[in-house]
Amino acid sequence: MAEIDIYAALKKFFGFTRFKGLQEEVVKSILNGNNTFVVMPTGGGKSLCYQLPALMQEGTAIVVSPLIALMKNQVDALRALSSEEGIAHVLNSSLNKTEVKKVKSDIENGITKLLYVAPESLTKEEYVNFLQTQKISFMAIDEAHCISEWGHDFRPEYRNLKSIIQRIGNDIPIIGLTATATPKVQEDILKNLNMQDANTFKASFNRPNLYYEIRPKTKNIDSDIIRFVKQNEGKSGIIYCLSRKRVEELAQALQVNGIKAVPYHAGLDGKTRVKHQDMFLMEDVDVVVATIAFGMGIDKPDVRFVIHNDIPKSIESYYQETGRGGRDGGEGHCLAFYSYKDIEKLEKFMSGKPVAEQEIGHALLQEVVAFAETSMSRRKFILHYFGEEFDNETGEGGMMDDNMRHPKKKHEAKDDAKQ
């Protein structure tokens, strides 16, 4: 495939003149028919990596994705780029007979370039039998970390994918994509999909504009948070709390102190949630106090601070949640409050779970403890956790954390953590 064709296709299908990051290399790898593994942070542009080669090739690419809502969004976006409605389809259990027929005939007629399927639909005998007889360009597994118990979103159905792919066609190239950077999860993905030979493309996870800070959590946490927010008046921020009760309580404490804040958690009815989310996006309020239910797919570019009222249960979660700050490249202050008592609480939550899950959960928590209590560069710690080398002297954002800016003597750090 000549280079010029790739750029022409990029322009034609997406209206972009430039690739982002490693996209060009990934697209070429896929067009050459290689198994390909892509690790890029959220927002890195993973969709285009498989959409562009799918649009350029003969046959249909099958895209496995875990969430129906995500698939629908992607299909709508693809249809908006094309005059051909059948260019992308979703195949799932909500379709009636006529709709399934239409999807099948569009695939047979070579109109459909991308077919989105949930993993549980792909196990349906009827679909497997049909897809076996079709020209499939490749198989893309989006959110591939769902395969791994070490990831934050394990889905058992993902475990069957390899055998299904083999039934559909033995030599179909496989493309795995994820934003999960931990080496353990990556190993799991490659092993499960039996694609250790894959061309691997891994983008850096460094977010140089984010400032990382951990403070000891004391009984004064309310006033600590209020003071911080007041010092950042008029800026947008997210405050994450573990429990719904704490979300309500803290949102109220902020409001009482004249801060424009709203609560957000899964216990609120849908209407209220949408309203509060919109108020935050439209800047009617500055702060949203939320459980982790908030943030999936939220893309407010100018979130200036992310506060953790409670330390998250893994470095991965911490990275994802703090990652919602400073998307526009501007300031992003990430402040987490830490107390070992909270770790014990998280351990206790897990005690009812299967032993294997507890062991994983415990190992992940130990990393969080090490991160919170470390006196080394937090950026270096995070990137090392993700298997990435980082040099504070030469790397971007090398001084952007509390430990680098205000180095502490070791015993002080320990005393703090004990409070």
Q: Where on the chain is the footprint of ligand ADP (CB under 6 A)?
A: 16, 18-20, 23, 40, 42-48
* Cβ proximity to Mg ion, 49 vs 288, nearer residue: 49
Q: How far is the CB of 40 from ligand ADP (least distance, A)?
A: 5
Tokens 């709508």 map to which residue? 76
208 interacts with, out of ligand ADP, Mg ion, none, CB within 5 to 8 A per kind: none
Please report which helix (H) or strand (E) contains residue 211, including its range: strand 210-216
Q: How far is the CB of 45 from ligand ADP (least distance, A)?
A: 3
Where are the alpha helices (H) located in 32-132, listed in sequence order?
Answer: 46-56, 68-80, 97-108, 119-122, 125-132
44 interacts with, out of ligand ADP, Mg ion, none, CB within 5 to 8 A per kind: ligand ADP
Compute the C-alpha angle 137/47/188, nearest 5°: 80
* Cβ proximity to ligand ADP, 16 vs 154, nearer residue: 16
Of 28-87, binders to Mg ion (CB under 5 A) are 46
Q: How far is the CB of 395 from ligand ADP (least distance, A)?
A: 22
Tokens 């908006």 map to which residue? 80
> Closest Cα partner for 142 from 209, 62, 86?
62
Tokens of 351: 């005690």
Q: For the chain, how many residues are written?
A: 419
19 interacts with, out of ligand ADP, Mg ion, none, CB within 5 to 8 A per kind: ligand ADP
131 interacts with, out of ligand ADP, Mg ion, none, CB within 5 to 8 A per kind: none
> Closest Cα partner for 300 from 318, 283, 276, 320?
283
Structural contact between residues 116 and 75, judged by C-beta atoms closer than 8 angstroms: yes
Q: How far is the CB of 145 from Mg ion (least distance, A)?
A: 11
End-to-end CA distance of the chain: 62
Q: How far is the CB of 145 from ligand ADP (least distance, A)?
A: 13
* Cβ proximity to ligand ADP, 42 vs 243, nearer residue: 42
Distance CA 39, CA 284 (A): 36
Contacts with 326 (C-beta within 8 Å, 6 or more apart), sequence order: 207, 209, 210, 303, 304, 332
* Cβ proximity to ligand ADP, 118 vs 131, nearer residue: 118
Compute the C-alpha angle 21/26/27, nearest 5°: 110
Q: How far is the CB of 329 from ligand ADP (least distance, A)?
A: 14
* Cβ proximity to ligand ADP, 258 vs 329, nearer residue: 329
Compute the C-alpha angle 359/181/140, nearest 5°: 105
Distance CA 371, CA 151 (A): 18
Structural contact between residues 294 and 272, judged by C-beta atoms closer than 8 angstroms: no
Q: How far is the CB of 16 from ligand ADP (least distance, A)?
A: 4
* Cβ proximity to ligand ADP, 180 vs 236, nearer residue: 180
Amino acid code (one letter) for 112: T
The beta strand positions in 9-98, using DSSP E, are 36-39, 60-64, 88-91
Q: How far is the CB of 193 from ligand ADP (least distance, A)?
A: 18
* Cβ proximity to Mg ion, 13 vs 50, nearer residue: 50
Q: How far is the CB of 85 from Mg ion (least distance, A)?
A: 23
* Cβ proximity to ligand ADP, 19 vs 318, nearer residue: 19
With CB under 5 A, what is the number of residues at the site for Mg ion?
A: 1
**DSSP secondary structure letters along 215-236:** EE--TTHHHHHHHHHHHTTT-E
Tokens of 275: 């309203």
Q: How far is the CB of 377 from ligand ADP (least distance, A)?
A: 26
* Cβ proximity to Mg ion, 46 vs 300, nearer residue: 46
Residue nearest to Mg ion as judged by C-beta position: 46
* Cβ proximity to ligand ADP, 297 vs 352, nearer residue: 297
Distance CA 26, CA 48 (A): 10
20 interacts with, out of Mg ion, ligand ADP, none, CB within 5 to 8 A per kind: ligand ADP
226 interacts with, out of Mg ion, ligand ADP, none, CB within 5 to 8 A per kind: none
What is the binding site for Mg ion (CB under 5 A)?
46
